[in-house]
Amino acid sequence: MSEAGSTVPFDFSSYGGEIDDLATRGLADAAGAEGIRTAMARVTGRAEEVQASRLSANEQNLIACGPGCADCCRVNVTVLLPEAIAIAAYLEEIGKGDETNAITMRVADTAARVRWMEDDERIRAGVACPFLDGRGWCAIYPVRPLTCRALSSTDPEQCRRALAAHCSDEEETIVVNIFQKFLMEGTFQSLARAMERAGLDTTGRELCRSVTRCLLDPRLADDFLAGKRIKFPES
């Protein structure tokens, strides 16, 4: 592995193959939701390890994202089923009884609200991610989706302006760390490729809808691993 901030060009193709193998083996060995969560932890752990090893201290300092800064957590996030299953398993572990029920209701409520909303509409309506806690921290941070991991910004004000611009005709770009974006998006694609080859359901779906479905159906993880196409209610 190269040192942090290495100037040697990163081989995305070989990294993609590595994630593909990791996901293939992890999902083949997985039994139930906990097994899928372990497989996902290996995939995201490797992605985070590569990111940390490739970004120089200077680049890391430039990334302004941090606990409590959650302006971008108001857009629709697409996840693959293993990601949603891992999140549901994590919520069941950290929540207890009534707490898990309350989270399930909050996530289901958001899923219903954003069901037909494009990002622009959701930003205008100000529908925040239900996984944000009272401090604006991500309550599922260790298992957060790859799409969330791909996002970064060097300037929180720029994020706010870009979100506001979504609701008008103005244009505002966000300066992101492009390596992080490509790395996490590439990880998502490699995971999907491994799933497709294994004959698993590769449909990308909205985060809250997917997690709600996983929380409400204890058999879902086994059905997914058995190669069944998971049905979602139409409304």
Binding site for ligand SF4 (CB under 6 A): 70, 73, 77, 129, 131-132, 138, 140, 144-145, 148
Q: Residue 145 Cβ, how far from ligand SF4 at the closest point, in Å?
A: 6
Which H or E run includes 78? Answer: strand 78-79
Q: Residue 147 Cβ, how far from ligand SF4 at the closest point, in Å?
A: 7
Q: Residue 133 Cβ, how far from ligand SF4 at the closest point, in Å?
A: 9
Q: Which is nearer to ligand SF4, 33 or 87 (CB)?
A: 87
Q: Give the bridge partners for 205, in sequence order.
A: 79
Q: Which is nearer to ligand SF4, 140 or 230 (CB)?
A: 140
Distance separating alpha carbons of residues 97 and 168, to the nearest angstrom: 43
Q: Which is nearer to ligand SF4, 19 or 70 (CB)?
A: 70
Q: Residue 152 Cβ, how far from ligand SF4 at the closest point, in Å?
A: 11
Q: Which is nearer to ligand SF4, 211 or 225 (CB)?
A: 211
**Residue 158 in contact with residue 171, Cβ under 8 Å?**
no
Q: Which is nearer to ligand SF4, 33 or 148 (CB)?
A: 148
Q: Residue 207 Cβ, how far from ligand SF4 at the closest point, in Å?
A: 6
Distance separating alpha carbons of residues 91 and 141, to the nearest angstrom: 11
Block residue for tokens 């040192």: 3
How many other CB atoms are found less than 10 A from the CB of residue 75?
20
Close Cβ partners of 120 (under 8 Å, ≥ 6 residues apart): 166, 167
In degrees rounded to 5, what are phi and psi of residue 190? -70, -40
